Amino acid sequence: MFEGQPQSEIDARRKRDPEFKALYERHQKLNKKCMDAELGVLPIDHLTLGQMKREKLLTKQKLERMYDSPTH
Q: Please count the structural domains in the chain.
A: 1
Mean pLDDT in consecutive groups of 10 residues from the start of the chain, 72 residues: 86 94 97 95 94 97 90 58
Residue 63 lies in a domain: yes
In sequence order, what are the residues at sequence separation of 6 or more whose Cβ sits closer than 8 angstroms to the Cβ of residue 44? 37, 52
d(CA 52, CA 66): 21
- Name the amino acid, one letter, at 24: Y
Residue 5 lies in a domain: no
Q: Which domain holds residue 55?
A: 40-72
Tell whether the torsion through CA atoms of 35, 29, 72 and 14 is positive or negative: negative
Distances (CA, A) of 45 to 5, 18, 28: 35, 32, 20
- Rounded to two decimals, what is the model's pTM? 0.86
Residue 70 lies in a domain: yes
